[in-house]
C-alpha cells in the first residue's frame, strides 16, 4: 500500500475515533483550484463510502489530494518580455521595476485559466492503537505539507517527531561494521556510505554483495552509512535512511500469500489487505525502534 514512510508518534493508545476525526477534516475537503489559483490541497475520501476517514479495525486511512497548475516561469517571462517591448514602444521608454512586476502579474492571471493541471495523492495512515502516524512521502518536506493541514484541523493534535536512542546512521554503520543485523532483520544488497569529512565523498552499492571486510575498510576510512536496504521477518523489504525515513517498501511473496485473493468484493479485499499491511507494518516499526535502542520520549 505504501511505497515510502515518514514516521511520527501519537499517544498510545490515542483515544480518538474516526467519527470524531471526520468533522475536523471536512472543512479541508479538496476543492479544485480556481482560475486564478496555482495550487489547491484538500482531503478526499479514500474509498467509495464518501467518508474522509476510512476506518478498518481501529486503523484510519486518509488521502490528501494536491492539484497544481503547470505554468512554467520561462513562459511567463517570455510573454512578459514581449509585453514590456510593446509598452516601451508606446510610452517611449522601457518600463521600470514596478511596471514590469505589474505586467508579470497580469500575464500570470491571463495564462492561468489555460494552464494544464496535475494531481497527486498522498496516503496517510493513523494507528491510534499503537501510536503511529505514517505519511507515504519520499521526503520529510512533502510530509510537512500533510502535517500542517492536520495541525490546523485537529485541536491540540498530540503529534511528535520520532526520536530514537541511536541515530539510524550510527546504528546502520555498526550493523555493517559488525556484519550483524539486528534481531528480526537481514541486510540486503543496497547501501550508501558517505564520508564525514568536508568532501562528503559517497560510495553506493546497488544489488552488490556487502562484504564485511570491504564495509569495515570503508567505515575505518571515515565513512558512515546513510542508507541501507533491509528485510524484516522475510515479509517486507525496505531502505532505511539516516533521517529515519523508510523508502522502497516492498511486500514479499510470504506477505502476499497471506492476503485475501479469494475475496471477490473489491472493498472487502481492500480492507483485508489494509488490515494485514497495517498490522505487520506496526510490528516492523516496533522492531525497528527496538533495534535503534528504543524511543526517546518527550519530557513531561
Give the separation between CA 293 and CA 286, rounded to whole angstroms.
Answer: 11
Stretch 215-242: mean pLDDT: 95
6: which 3 cell numbers? 515518514
162 Cα distance to chain centroid: 14
pLDDT band at 276 (very low <50, low <70, confident <90, very high): very high
Domain range for 239:
168-291
pLDDT at 167: 96
Q: Which parts of 179-228 fold into alpha helices (H)?
A: 212-220
299 within domain boundaries: no
Whether 93 shows a pLDDT value over 90: the answer reads: no
Q: What is the pLDDT of residues 278-287, one digit of tens each?
A: 999 999 999 9
Same domain, 50 and 138: yes
How high is the mean pLDDT of the chain? 90
Same domain, 54 and 80: no
Q: What is the pLDDT of residues 151-188, one digit of tens each?
A: 999 999 999 999 999 999 999 999 999 999 999 999 99
The dihedral sign for the CA sequence 5, 147, 283, 52: negative
Whether 125 shows a pLDDT value over 60: the answer reads: yes
pLDDT at 10: 96
Same domain, 107 and 127: no
23 within domain boundaries: yes
Specify the number of domains making up the chain.
3
68 Cα distance to chain centroid: 18
Comparing C-alpha atoms, which of 68, 80, 84, 66 is closest to residue 108?
A: 80
Stretch 34-62: mean pLDDT: 91
pLDDT band at 262 (very low <50, low <70, confident <90, very high): low
296 within domain boundaries: no
Whether 259 shows a pLDDT value over 80: the answer reads: no
127 within domain boundaries: yes
Give the separation between CA 175 and CA 215, rounded to whole angstroms.
Answer: 10
pLDDT at 226: 96
Containing 255, the helix (H) or strand (E) segment is helix 253-257
Q: What is the largest CA-CA distance in the chain?
A: 77
Same domain, 89 and 173: no
Q: List all residues 6 or more positions away from 171 whose beta carbon is below 8 Å from its beta carbon.
A: 182, 291, 292, 293
Same domain, 146 and 271: no
pLDDT at 83: 83
Q: What is the DSSP letter of 279?
A: H
275: which 3 cell numbers? 488490515
215 within domain boundaries: yes
Amino acid at each position: 500500500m505504501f511505497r515510502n514512510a515518514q514516521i511520527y508518534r501519537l499517544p498510545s493508545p490515542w483515544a480518538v475515533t474516526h467519527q470524531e476525526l471526520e468533522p475536523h477534516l471536512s472543512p479541508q475537503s479538496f476543492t479544485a483550484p480556481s482560475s486564478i489559483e496555482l495550487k489547491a490541497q484538500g482531503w478526499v475520501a479514500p474509498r467509495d463510502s464518501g467518508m474522509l476517514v476510512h476506518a478498518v479495525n481501529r486503523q484510519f486511512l486518509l488521502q490528501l489530494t494536491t492539484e497544481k497548475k503547470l505554468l512554467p516561469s520561462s513562459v511567463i517571462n517570455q510573454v512578459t518580455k514581449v509585453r514590456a517591448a510593446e509598452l516601451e514602444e508606446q510610452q517611449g521608454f522601457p518600463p521600470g521595476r514596478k511596471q514590469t512586476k505589474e505586467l508579470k502579474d497580469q500575464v500570470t492571471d491571463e495564462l492561468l485559466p489555460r494552464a494544464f493541471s496535475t494531481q497527486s495523492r498522498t496516503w496517510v495512515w493513523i494507528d491510534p492503537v499503537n501510536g503511529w502516524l505514517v505519511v507515504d512521502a519520499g521526503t520529510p518536506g512533502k510530509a510537512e505539507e500533510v502535517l500542517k493541514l492536520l495541525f490546523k484541523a485537529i485541536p491540540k493534535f498530540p503529534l511528535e517527531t520520532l526520536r530514537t536512542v541511536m541515530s539510524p546512521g550510527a546504528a546502520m554503520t555498526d550493523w555493517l561494521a559488525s556484519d550483524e543485523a539486528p534481531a528480526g532483520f537481514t541486510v540486503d544488497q543496497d547501501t550508501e556510505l558517505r564520508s564525514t569529512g568536508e568532501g562528503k565523498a559517497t560510495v553506493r552499492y546497488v544489488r552488490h554483495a556487502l562484504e564485511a571486510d570491504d564495509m569495515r575498510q570503508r567505515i575505518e576510512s571515515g565513512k558512515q552509512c546513510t542508507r541501507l536496504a533491509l528485510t524484516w521477518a522475510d515479509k517486507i523489504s525496505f531502505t532505511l535512511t539516516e533521517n529515519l525515513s523508510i523508502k522502497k517498501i516492498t511486500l514479499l511473496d510470504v506477505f502476499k500469500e497471506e492476503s485475501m485473493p479469494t475475496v471477490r468484493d473489491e472493498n472487502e479485499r481492500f480492507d483485508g489487505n489494509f488490515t494485514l499491511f497495517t498490522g505487520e507494518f506496526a510490528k516492523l516499526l516496533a522492531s525497528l525502534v527496538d533495534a535503534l535502542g528504543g524511543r526517546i520520549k518527550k519530557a513531561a
